[in-house]
Amino acid sequence: MDFSPSTLFAGIVFGLIGLGAWRYGRKQQSARHMLVGAALIGFCYVVPDGWVQWLVGAVLVGLLFFPQVG
């Protein structure tokens, strides 16, 4: 695992966003927000590269705001 400033900062940023999304989902009883929040909290542990972390994190944050289909 790479402990560069970019990966550490990405982990902190997306972890905090994920915590907020998970808490919002729990309060609103939204399974989608809770799942995306949990994914944001944990994905930095399995994605090794800094730029890939930023890409995956941006996609997951985008899923929070994308209107639900169906």
Whether 70 shows a pLDDT value over 60: the answer reads no
The pLDDT value given to residue 35: 94
**Separation of alpha carbons 34 and 63, rounded Å:** 12
Beta strands in the chain (DSSP E): none
**Separation of alpha carbons 9 and 20, rounded Å:** 17
DSSP state of 44: G
CA-angle at 3, arms to 34 and 58, nearest 5°: 35
pLDDT in tens, 14-68: 999 999 999 999 999 999 999 999 999 999 889 888 899 999 999 999 999 887 6
